[in-house]
């Protein structure tokens, strides 16, 4: 079995994700020792030195050896502001790009993730690590290019009666803000589903938010 762990400092926010078969306290001491004896300048080494080597190690989970790389990468992808030099897994040694999982490994990952529930503490740490994250214009463009021309993943999705009942129960007694009430009233006043300025057909919410008097056709004029 392989242990997936994270390192942190006085902030208690995960700073490094790793995996080991060693005892956790020994693995922590290895990180400290390598940082003291290294002349290299990496995010992890600089961080450990900046907190005067006062770091702690925490177990996230134990998993099968062949799943450990994928699990480590999975946790890495959920956190930000880490000091890892790579995205985890075996990428530092054999390279992860282009690697394909066998059907057997995919099945084991599916079973391992099925019904998996993150603790409130772990969710809070994910939330804190992502706050203040700035997405570059280059990344935004890549996301836009990737999604352009592709239907939304929930297009054609039908809500079951069970889910409809859950939504209904959740909304009972809900108190709407003044802005929400105003939006609902504006929706009811609409008699068509397109913008008269540019002719675009879209949802009532988008029409109110982005079109009519806010339409780009008017702004450009």
The answer to whether the predicted template modeling score (pTM) of the entire model surpasses 0.75 is no
Give the torsion through C-alpha atoms of 112, 94, 26, 68, to 10 deg. 0
Mean pLDDT of 202-220: 74
Dist. CA 199–CA 201, nearest whole Å:
6
Does pLDDT of 32 surpass 80? yes
pLDDT category of residue 92 using cuts at 50, 70 and 90: very low
Confidence at residue 189, expressed as pLDDT on a 0 to 100 scale: 66
Alpha carbon 120 to its chain centroid, in Å, reads: 15
Does pLDDT of 94 surpass 50? no
Q: Please, are residues 46 and 55 in contact by the beta-carbon 8 Å criterion?
A: no
Task: Decide which of 209 and 167 is more confident.
Answer: 167
Does pLDDT of 100 surpass 80? no
Closest Cα to residue 87, out of 108, 112, 70? Answer: 70
Dist. CA 193–CA 199, nearest whole Å:
9
pLDDT category of residue 131 using cuts at 50, 70 and 90: confident
Task: Decide which of 105 and 44 is more confident.
Answer: 44
Does pLDDT of 93 surpass 50? no
Confidence at residue 88, expressed as pLDDT on a 0 to 100 scale: 54
Does pLDDT of 23 surpass 50? yes
Residue-wise pLDDT tens digits, 59-91: 888 888 778 777 887 777 777 678 876 655 554
Q: What secondary structure, in 3-state letters, does the chain show?
A: CEEEEEEECCCCCCCEEEEECCCHHHHHHHHHHHHHHCCCCCHHHHHHHHCCCCCEEEEEEEECHHHHHHHHHHHHHHCCCCCCCCCCCCCCCCCCCCCCCCHHHHHHHHHHHCCCCCCHHHHHHHHHHHCCCCCCHHHHHHHHHHHCCCCCCCCCCCCCHHHHHHHHHHHCCCCCCHHHHHHHHHHHHCCCCECCCCCCECCHHHHHHHCHHHCHHHHHC
Mean pLDDT of 176-192: 73
Residue found by looking up tokens 């208690």 in the block: 12
Dist. CA 88–CA 92, nearest whole Å:
8
Give me the percent of the chain exceeding a pLDDT of 70: 87
The mean pLDDT of the chain is: 78
Task: Decide which of 92 and 218 is more confident.
Answer: 218
């Amino acid at each position: 079995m392989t242990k997936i762990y994270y390192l942190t400092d006085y902030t208690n926010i995960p700073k490094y994700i790793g995996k080991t078969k060693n005892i956790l306290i020994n693995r922590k001491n290895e990180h400290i020792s390598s940082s003291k004896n290294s002349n290299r300048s990496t995010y992890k080494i600089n961080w450990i030195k900046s907190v005067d080597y006062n770091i702690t190690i925490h177990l996230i989970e134990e998993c099968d050896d062949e799943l450990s790389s994928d699990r480590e990468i999975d946790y890495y992808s959920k956190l930000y502001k880490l000091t890892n030099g790579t995205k985890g897994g075996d990428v530092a040694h054999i390279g992860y790009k282009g690697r394909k999982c066998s059907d057997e490994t995919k099945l084991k990952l599916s079973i391992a993730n099925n019904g998996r529930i993150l603790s409130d503490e772990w969710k809070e740490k994910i939330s804190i690590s992502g706050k203040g994250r700035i997405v570059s214009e280059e990344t935004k463009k890549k996301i836009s290019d990737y999604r352009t021309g592709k239907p939304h993943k929930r297009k054609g999705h039908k809500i079951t009666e069970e889910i409809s009942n859950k939504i209904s129960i959740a909304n009972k007694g809900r108190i709407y803000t003044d802005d929400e009430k105003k939006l609902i009233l504006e929706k009811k006043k609409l008699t068509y589903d397109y913008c008269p300025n540019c002719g675009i057909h879209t949802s009532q919410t988008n029409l109110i938010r982005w079109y009519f008097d806010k339409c780009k056709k008017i702004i450009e004029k």
